[in-house]
Amino acid sequence: MSKREEERYNEILNYSLNNMDDNTKFCTVCGMPLVTANDYPMDADMKTVDWCKYCGDKEGMKNYSELVKGMTEYIKGEQNISEEEATVKAEEAIKGSVAYTSGRLK
């Protein structure tokens, strides 16, 4: 994720956090709140899709290794740690996600 993408991500996340209520859905992979159409993959059906635009597209979630890769990049930038450490954290996060524990991730 580039610096600009990261800034955009944080902007959207802050907006979403300020607009959450009890019915807020969360991405079943990364836990990001899904509040506006902008949080979802492009053209996704907000009624059936429960993952964010970072974790998949309107057709489905990314697979396990793609998700680990993406999250590793994000954690690395966020926490300023090595690729190896970030990978461990990314794997832990994804293995703890609803999507993974319910067997929906391939």
Q: Which residues bind Zn ion (CB under 5 A)?
A: 27, 29-30, 32, 52, 54-55
Residue 30: name the closest of 50, 15, 16 by CA. Answer: 50
For residues 33 and 17, is the Cβ–Cβ distance under 8 A? yes
Query: Of 31 and 84, which has the nearer Cβ to Zn ion?
Result: 31
Query: Of 31 and 82, which has the nearer Cβ to Zn ion?
Result: 31
Least Å distance, CB 78 to Zn ion, is: 14
Query: Of 4 and 70, which has the nearer Cβ to Zn ion?
Result: 70
